Amino acid sequence: MNISHHFDDATLMAYAAGTLPQGMALVVACHLHWCPECRHRVKQAEAVGGALLDNISPVAVSDSALDDILASLDEVPAAAQKQVKTSEPNQTELPDPLSTYLNKSLDDLPWKWIGYGMYQVDLNFGGKGAARLFKLAPGVSVPHHTHTGNELTLILRGSYSDEIGRFRRGDVADLDSDVLHQPIVDTGEDCICLIATDAPLKFTGIMGRLIQPFIGL
């Protein structure tokens, strides 16, 4: 796999620190499954974090601190409580973190039609932001948009091109409010992406604003 687009340092630092929303953490984990370069950068981030912790002076904690931590561990999000079925997941196309969660191939998912040549599967993580699988037919483009927060996209199948460049399987787009783009599928096969956001997209045209309630991003 020839990966050309990687995560920003800030995203990998947040992942190493455990501060990303669940959907975004899943996107990063899936890319790390395929990308040795970003795995190495995460190890570096963890080493930096460990060194910083070593230099922090200890402080007193309350007597109930341990009980509070244990209680918070019991508050598992609904998505994380999903039962894993006994059937074998697709081990060849999907990265392990996503394969384990879905437990089925991309072609067997309950894709929901949301517009011409556009389909999605909501991963229903809850909490901050949203995480979805998107499938776009050949030649289909997403309306021009920017972002009110951050958007992480991992290509699982096919490819698309936009103002930034060409993104293929394994590539990630790490975008913020400074980016205005319009991805378009540039091959003869569907493009399937795992997308996570921490705030709604901001469509610049009337068509994008019309479909936004149906997309949910």
For residue 130, the model assigns a pLDDT of 86
DSSP secondary-structure letter at 186?
A: -
Query: Is residue 148 helix, strand or coil?
Result: coil
For residue 88, the model assigns a pLDDT of 39
DSSP secondary-structure letter at 204?
A: -
For residue 28, the model assigns a pLDDT of 97
Domain 1-56+91-217 classified CATH 2.60.120.10?
A: yes
pLDDT per residue as tens, the chain (217 positions): 899 999 999 999 999 999 999 999 999 999 999 999 999 999 999 887 665 555 566 767 677 866 776 776 655 444 444 433 333 334 458 999 999 999 999 999 999 998 889 999 999 887 777 899 999 999 988 776 666 678 999 999 999 998 889 999 999 999 876 767 788 999 999 999 999 987 766 666 555 555 555 555 5
**Could you tell me whether strands 130-136 and 201-203 are parallel, antiparallel, or unpaired per DSSP bridges?**
unpaired
For residue 203, the model assigns a pLDDT of 66
For residue 48, the model assigns a pLDDT of 76
- Residue 108: CB atoms within 10 A of its CB come to 11
Domain ranges of the chain: 1-56+91-217
For residue 78, the model assigns a pLDDT of 45
> Which long-range contacts (C-beta less than 8 Å, at least 24 apart) are formed by 9-15?
9/41, 9/45, 11/150, 11/152, 11/174, 12/38, 12/41, 12/42, 12/45, 13/45, 13/48, 13/49, 15/42, 15/45
Residues 28 and 152 sit within 8 Å (Cβ to Cβ): yes
| Phi, then psi, of 52 in degrees rounded to 5 | -65, -40
For residue 163, the model assigns a pLDDT of 87
Query: Is residue 172 helix, strand or coil?
Result: strand
